[in-house]
Chain A
C-alpha cells in the first residue's frame, strides 16, 4: 500500500496563476482533508470531505476549491494564486475514529 500520496512535491507559481494539487489514498478511507502548515500557525484545515461527491469548508477556505469525484482522490485547486498562499500543503485521510494518515506534503511558493 502506498498510503497517502501527493502530487507535485514542489511547485513555484507566479501571482495569478492557477494550479491543482492531487491527493490519492489507497486505504478506502471515507474522509479526506487538506491542511496548510505555516511557521507558528500549526496546521490549519482548508477543506475536507466526508465521502465521494461531498466537500465542506474548514477554517481557511478562501482562495481554494476542492473536488472529490472519486473516493480515492481529493483535489485542491488554486484559481488565482497569491503570495499569501505560499505554504506547505498536507493531505490526510481517515476512517473510523479519525486517526489521520498524512501525505508527504507539497511545498508551494507563490512569487
Chain B
C-alpha cells in the first residue's frame, strides 16, 4: 500500500536552517502537506504544495517537491526555539477516499 516515510529526529541550533525530508510512494498524490504538532496540542496545517509545483515559499518556510524521486522537503529558515515540534508529512490522493497517508513525524529540537 501507499507509504510516507520521514526521519524521526532532527536537532539544529537556533538561527540555523532546518531541513525536514519526506518520501512517498504514491505517484498519484495530488497534494502534499506539512503539519506541525506542538507538545500537548493537535496538529496544525503549516503549508501544502500541489503536485504540479516544484517549490512553494511562505515567509520562513520553503517546500521543495521532486516528483520524479517522490521526495518532499520542508526548509525552515532562521529556526527559532518556538519551532521545536513534531512535523508530519502527508500525501493526498483523491482516489483514496480522500484519506491522507501520514508519515510518522519528525521531532525537531532547536538548541539555543
Contact = CB atoms under 8 A, between A and B. Distances in A.
Interface of A: 4, 31, 40-43, 45, 48, 50, 56, 58, 90, 92, 94, 97-105
B44 A102 contact: yes
A38 to B, nearest CB: 10
Interface string B73-112: 0000000000000001000101001111011110000000
Contacts of B98: 31, 50, 94, 98
B57 to A, nearest CB: 19
Interface residues of B, number: 22
B103 A42 contact: yes
A99 B33 contact: yes
Given A98-B31, A99-B33, A99-B48, A105 B102 contact: no
Interface of B: 30-31, 33, 35, 40-45, 48, 88, 92, 94, 97-100, 102-105
B100 A100 contact: yes
A100 B43 CA distance: 9
Contact of B105 (A42, A97, A99): A42
Nearest to A95: B98
Contacts of A105: 40-42
Contacts of B35: 102
A104 B104 contact: no
Given A48-B99, A97-B92, A99-B48, A41 B42 contact: no
Among the interface residues B88, B98, B103, which one has the most CB atoms of the partner chain A within 10 A?
B98
